[in-house]
Chain A
Amino acid sequence: MIRKLIWNDMKQNRLSCAATIFFMAVSAMLLALAVLLCSGLLGAIDNLMDRSQVPDYMQMHTGSDIFAKPGGGRMGSAAEALSSFAEERKEVRQWQICRFLNLDNSRITLGSRSLADSTQDNGLCVQGEGFDYLLDTENRMPKVLPGEVYAPACYRSLYELAEGDIMAIGSHELVIAGFIRDAQMNSMMASSKRFLVSAEDYGRIKESGITQTDGLMTDSPSQGYLSEEYLIEFRLSEGTDINSFAAAYAASGLPANGPAVTKPLVRMMNALADGTMILVIFLVSAVVLLISMLCIRFLCLTQMERERREMGMLKALGVGRTGIRRIYFVKYLLFSGWGAFAGYSAAFLLKAPLEKQIRELYGAAPGGIKAVITAFLAVILVEGILLLSVRGSLKKTERLSALEALFQSGERKKSMGQYIVIGLVAAACTFLALVPRNLYSTMSAPEFVTYMGIGDGELRMDVRQTDNIDLATEQIAAALRLDAEVERFAVLRTGSVRAVLPDGETISLTVETGDHSIFPVSYSEGSLPEKRGEIALSAMNADELGLDVGSTVRLMIDGKPEEYTVCGIYSDITNGGRTAKAFETGSSAPAMWSILYVSLNGSEGKGQWMSHYRQMGADVTDIADYVRDTYGQTLGQLRLAFLAVLAIAVLVISVVVMLFMRLIVEKERYTVSLHKALGFTCMDMKRLYFFRGLIPVIMGLIAGILVGILCGERVCGLVLSAFGAESFRFVISWDWVLAFIPAVLLGPAACAVLMGIEGIRRIGAFECCRGNGQT
């Protein structure tokens, strides 16, 4: 009998049943999709990192070949010092020095495209000896033959490359034999990209001198020396505290003039570049779940309202409270099963296209069954939450007596609740569409870099690859002072300083000194250092060292202690996120590197200007290009996510508005019929209900925009803090927020209202005469 009742109910209420299944399916699909993508991404990253044996700690160093023994041997004095450091420390399982031949981007062409615009440090390397392997697309170690090169997998789609294409480095040509996955540098957020070549080619190209050598670009093989970057890599035993190892390395005085990277940081960078889209899908699935709960609850209540009389009859016939509830609940259980199946299947269908990039960069995740089960559990969780909400609504049947149900069915409640739901859903959809868009415009805005520890300049000049950094910096600064094209510039020198914490612990602090007010970064607390005795710390440093604004720290300047007060805390992801800024320390110790930020008077001839300064030994980067290259991958995904979210928002708002307007018209059938009987035309009634439906949509849109602007910042804060941006302000693109998004949502919503009220045409004027009177 229950089966018959459910079947008949479904035939009579096709729309409401279809809508219930739709909401159950969409909610299940989104969470299952997010879980599948998340476990796929993390599984693939872990698998790649395991297979390629990523080092636990990697220190970069640039400069002359300090590791080469005079006469060409492998072990120089620095290498010996490293060897003894590794032997002394029991936690070091393996160590190695990988060489990275930094190429001049303007001399590289991949296929038919030049890399001149790239801000990545592109270079050659050979396969690691003991670990840090570069793997092919099958996650195997490729055997590279002379004349062949394996290009980074992330360049495959970026530069539309295929196997057999030619990579030209000056006059040298190499055939791209395949693509490699570089567990350390796969992410576009990593600033270097490694091309794998044979040892023979590496040596040949190094000898020919087509490299970036202290800024002097030359094709001449007679260049006196070559500058390579060295990746000093350590594999540590399990359970080692990487931070204390890093501190020990920094204190040892071993080569360390470049940034240090740890395995967790590599994992985070890999996850973040592709994880943004997944985070957005998680956010959307939470909001859609709320919308679904709201809508299903209302559909359930509306149906119960309509079936009051039947319920009364069942009660009068002696069917118990739980019996009636069971009839309804079994129906929702059935819907939930169908919704879960549809959602789960759809998640698998959508997974493949969305996972394309993840698969290309990291390979397939092993152990798929775990992800399948987790996604299944997520679907069960979603359906469980929805069924619990339905169960709560069904409890209302228990409070209704048989007589009330039988004889009060005429007094129907007005449709205010439905209009409120329309408004709330419109607000939620606007919020959904707005947040990823604002996140996108925030991350693509030029000032976003200031949340990452990068000054708000136009160009950034890094002076690293020289033995006398201070001298090179001073030469460049002198040239900038005389340069008429330069509007303003700032010189920031970075050096390592010993610091004594309030608890007496001594640490090594990387401090950037100079005038930080010219191109300031964003401070989450306090302000920038303006005089000697003030120091600002990166959020990660402040957190780890337990220091706040106002705390004091003693710096050992040339062996003498000097009191410094923490004046500000800023976000930073550069140099592992552990940095400090001071106005002046007066230290006579040589700089590890320096950075010059520059703003030009005009953008004409910028390229020429940049290459001129490159020849002076600086690595000149256009910050806009840097942002494009570093966050391009993330921004692309975010844009995709925004479009997907917008499509979901349009779908949800259309379905909800159409459905609820149909319900309202159905509920107010008598009113419509009476109006028609009294002489109102169909168009009069449609006009009335069109505005009634559109007004809550417009109010919802306005509310959604306000909430999106006011609270969206906090929601995005969760995403952006993962990128290292601790405190940030939304960069709002008002044209999108006030015009495009509302128009994209309002258009379909207005059509949905029209479709929803189409039923008015079919309501007969005579129906009210047959009914129960008061409407």
Chain B
Amino acid sequence: MVGQQETINLFKSKAVTEKFVDAGVQLKRMSFFALVALIGTGALVGMLYVAVRTTYENRVSEKERLSQTLRQYNTREGLFLSVKERVGVVKKVDATRKPWVQILDATARVVTPPSLQAIVQDTEDRMALNIKVASLEETVAMAQTVLALHDENRIKSPQLISLTINKDGVIQFGFSFIPVF
């Protein structure tokens, strides 16, 4: 007997086959749903793509049409941009100009020629007056006018730069201030 049966099959072939059959059924079901889902998703994505693509192409052609119209107005646009840009530039330039005449008028309240020898306005916007008067009273009166201008906020930081009295009694002095515009 033993001599006739040379191999023994130890696998439980029936149980294994049942397991595979169950798994196979489940997998079939899953693969079916996956396929259906894929077809559904594909169709949805396809429709969405067509819709988005159509919108995109419509917009491209709309842009091209408007661009062509815009190109007809190149000169007008250039002129408009030039005006727009230049208004800003001219305004800025205008704002840097100072009404020096106002300050000259203010200084005329303090002193006029021939007592006024010179007016110097340097780059730091500080103005200096060189004055020559015959009496101390005149100097005091001028100083009072300078203080009044300061109080009126027409000038700021007034400073006496120099004061010389020569033997003839002629007083020469200079003072500086910062004009307020």
Partners in one complex: no
Interface, chain B (partner A; CB < 8 A): none
